[in-house]
Structure 1
Amino acid sequence: MSESDQVAIPNALRLPAEWEQQSAVWFSWPWRKALWPDCLQKVQNRLIELYTLCAEFQPVHILCPEADQEQLRSMLQGKDRKEPIQVHSYASDDVWIRDYGPIFLRNGAGLIASDWHFNAWGEKFPCFDRDNAVPLWISSYLGIDRQTESLVLEGGAIESNGAGLLATTRSVLQNTNRFQGEGSPPILSQSDWESLFERRFGVRSVLWVEQGLSGDDTDGHIDNILRFAPDSRLIYASESNPQSPNFESLKELKQSLIADSSNYLNGYSLIALPMPDPIYHCGQLLAASYTNYLVLNGAVIVPTFQQAKDATALRVMSDCFPNRSIRAFDCSEIIREGGGLHCLSLNQPAVS
């Protein structure tokens, strides 16, 4: 599927690829000091740079508590930008809007917001009710229909090629912590999920991967290890260091992708994207990955970590997105809370 292709599924919803045309990108402003105990100001400064970088290519929306808007607007003042940055009064619980925000679907010439339940990755963290309500707020603001689901599903847990193929991990979708609480539905089988994705997303095939990265609070989101790219490319995280905690799992990932080359991935070029050297904070392994990049209209923003491998990752991404500007963005501070650029952002597809 090339950058210009938009393969529609007749009379059905479609989960677009992220390299298709977008109308905006959404973010949530970090404001809870407890979540960023030693680096809140640094992260806020970095995100101001991210917002203005994104605004070179498309409009930006930021959810921000009313009490913090004066600070945010002051920090944005004087920053050069081609597209508007709009600040909205909404106090989300955390910044990872990819996971709790709406999953945007194409419905002919329009959009639908798919609203799944969010439980903070298996109730690992308290205070997620406001995050869980973000799809309702955004769909109301945009004036688009909302499709609600009682099951837990995070946006970073799925990856779409825009043409009916979806990738995900068993370690997330079949994790018992996504099915907690009284009245919670039973754990879905793979075939149950596949049927649900077909009905809700217009997906025809699902590429199942066993697990994600070690140290990932999400239990292994797909966006940290595998991404589709234009012209039938599949980018996957690759680890060459046998001492790395992710060496064995990523070796198995490569083997499984090669084995699938005659099935769903027939015709795909498999592109290895190196993993950064392991990064630890307070003794804990962090889920740092170059595959957690952000695609925009005309650009790809790639996370970097002040390592020699950054340059290699940027070269690989340039080969995979030859028609877009490749921009490096230092995520050394942001990764401390467990996520990257893709986790922080939510692409809003354009409508015809």
Structure 2
Amino acid sequence: MPSETDPHECTWMAWPGGGYTLGDTAHEADVARAMWASVANTIAEYEPLRMLVPPREREKARRLLADDIDVHEVQLDDAWYRDIGPTFVHGRAASGGSGASGGFSPLGAVNWVFNGWGQQDWATWDHDALASGVATDVSGATRIDSPMVNEGGGIHTDGRGTFLVTETVQLDQLRNSGWTKQQVEDELNRTLGARSVIWLPRGLTRDSERFGTKGHVDLLATFDATGRVLVHHQTNAEHPDHAVSQQLFAVLSAATDADGNPMDLVALPAPTVLRDHHGFVDYSYVNHYVANGVVVACAFGDPGDDVSREVLAAAYPGRNVVQLDARPLFERGGGIHCITQQQPAAPAVSPR
């Protein structure tokens, strides 16, 4: 699996079409559509974007999306394509999966099992469980099927074989009952080329509550353009994620990458706001998306927005940092990274 910072062929997204994502009122639905369109249109200024859209939403989506965005009509339960889409890889197709030849393939697409973030009682996934096939087929990638329940928001890689995961996601008994760390690591090696898997103990507090993912790593830490790790840093001891941040830094400080090098950590301070009307927030600047020439970053109307912009500009030199108010996304359980999925460009040179 290449780094998100490597060149992209395009970005994939899914349009909100129902359920809690659209909310209970016409106004809430309009806010959601405008948020998804804002992210999509920003990315489309820098690279091609392809959007899955439920048929009933086609007219509304087409009205809000830039003309050069490709629309693919498909039934969906929800709109978090990072989690329901495939994970694209380069190189040799993994053996043992449906459609995987074992020979060289310029592009592969790992199709995970999706079960509503661990069979959440508020989630439906009849359509979402099949949604990864759209990007797989349209891209022409070799399909690599995995028996593991996993979501794209639950993994991050430096593109050189080092992966970040959380114990509360891949080892969740309502995702992968009975699986061990070794089994998870073996499957990540088979499908994604993982050579070193760093296990973080848990996710952010709200993301671990009823309407969360149970601990996705893309709110906790990510790799920048040089392989350094940007880490969510909650400095306020009044917030329960202060303790989570301390755990993160402790684990990552003791870890090494796939080549045996110590991890180079960069603190990405959390916003100063601690609560919204639901309780402690899980606002995180880590949840940004890196595309060709741009970093699409979360803003929260907070003094921390300016600080995060400086950190991200230093972490991704040569890219514009575009901040979008992500509060409507976090209100629905995710962020900018959660609704995007990169399709990497073909490798410049094929492996021998």
| Interval containing the TM-score (normalised by the shorter chain) | 0.7 to 0.9
State how many pairs are aligned: 327
In 2, Cα distance between the equivalents of 1:330 and 1:317?
16
Residues 35-83 of structure 1 deviation map (CA, whole Å, 9 limit, x = unaligned)? 322522012112222211111110011111122211211223xx5x8xx
**Unaligned ranges ≥5, structure 2:** 92-103, 348-352
**Unaligned ranges ≥5, structure 1:** 1-14, 180-185
Match of 2:45 among 40, 50, 56: 56
Match of 1:66 among 33, 40, 55: 55
Structure 1 ranges of 4+ moved more than 3 A: 261-265, 277-282
In 1, Cα distance between the equivalents of 2:12 and 2:309?
24
In 2, Cα distance between the equivalents of 1:344 and 1:57?
17
For 2:317, the equivalent position in structure 1 comes to: 322
For 2:294, the equivalent position in structure 1 comes to: 299
State the SS of the aligned residue for 1:121.
helix
Paired-residue identity, %: 28
Match of 1:37 among 9, 24, 30: 24
Residues 241-274 of structure 1 deviation map (CA, whole Å, 9 limit, x = unaligned)? 0001201111111122222259867254210001
Task: Check whether the contact 2:219–2:286 (CA below 8 A) recurs between aligned residues.
Answer: yes
For 1:138, the equivalent position in structure 2 comes to: 135
For 2:3, the equivalent position in structure 1 comes to: 17
1:26 correspondence with 2:12: yes
In 2, Cα distance between the equivalents of 1:144 and 1:263?
26
In 1, Cα distance between the equivalents of 2:313 and 2:246?
24
Q: What is the CA distance between 1:313 and its match in structure 2? A: 0.6
Task: Check whether the contact 1:33–1:40 (CA below 8 A) recurs between aligned residues.
Answer: no
Counterparts of 1:98-113 in structure 2 under 5 Å?
A: 98-107=82-91, 110-113=106-109
Q: Which one is further off, 204-213 or 283-292?
A: 283-292
In 2, Cα distance between the equivalents of 1:265 and 1:24?
32
For 1:349, the equivalent position in structure 2 comes to: 344
The 1:314–1:244 alpha-carbon spacing in structure 2 relative to 1, beyond 3 Å, is: same
For 1:244, the equivalent position in structure 2 comes to: 239
Q: Counterpart amino acid of 1:302?
A: A
In 1, Cα distance between the equivalents of 2:261 and 2:141?
36
In 2, Cα distance between the equivalents of 1:29 and 1:90?
10
Q: Counterpart amino acid of 2:3?
A: A
In 2, Cα distance between the equivalents of 1:194 and 1:60?
32
For 1:116, the equivalent position in structure 2 comes to: 112
For 2:194, the equivalent position in structure 1 comes to: 203
In 1, Cα distance between the equivalents of 2:268 and 2:126?
36
Q: What is the CA distance between 1:163 and its match in structure 2? A: 0.5
For 1:168, the equivalent position in structure 2 comes to: 165
Task: Check whether the contact 1:54–1:60 (CA below 8 A) recurs between aligned residues.
Answer: yes
For 1:191, the equivalent position in structure 2 comes to: 182
In 2, Cα distance between the equivalents of 1:64 and 1:312?
35
In 1, Cα distance between the equivalents of 2:308 and 2:63?
34
In 2, Cα distance between the equivalents of 1:224 and 1:277?
16
Q: Counterpart amino acid of 1:29?
A: W
Task: Check whether the contact 2:136–2:143 (CA below 8 A) recurs between aligned residues.
Answer: yes
TM-score normalised by length of structure 2: 0.88
Residues 98-125 of structure 1 deviation map (CA, whole Å, 9 limit, x = unaligned)? 0111011112561111111101111113
Residues 171-204 of structure 1 deviation map (CA, whole Å, 9 limit, x = unaligned)? 111111213xxxxxx4221122112222221111
Residues 134-189 of structure 1 deviation map (CA, whole Å, 9 limit, x = unaligned)? 1122212222221112221111111111111111011111111213xxxxxx4221
For 2:229, the equivalent position in structure 1 comes to: 234
Task: Check whether the contact 1:303–1:329 (CA below 8 A) recurs between aligned residues.
Answer: yes
Task: Check whether the contact 2:253–2:263 (CA below 8 A) recurs between aligned residues.
Answer: no
Q: What is the CA distance between 1:91 and its match in structure 2? A: 2.2
The 1:267–1:257 alpha-carbon spacing in structure 2 relative to 1, beyond 3 Å, is: closer
Task: Check whether the contact 1:114–1:146 (CA below 8 A) recurs between aligned residues.
Answer: yes
In 1, Cα distance between the equivalents of 2:243 and 2:300?
22
RMSD: 1.9
In 2, Cα distance between the equivalents of 1:258 and 1:280?
29
For 2:156, the equivalent position in structure 1 comes to: 159
The 1:241–1:264 alpha-carbon spacing in structure 2 relative to 1, beyond 3 Å, is: farther
Q: Which one is further off, 262-271 or 283-292?
A: 262-271
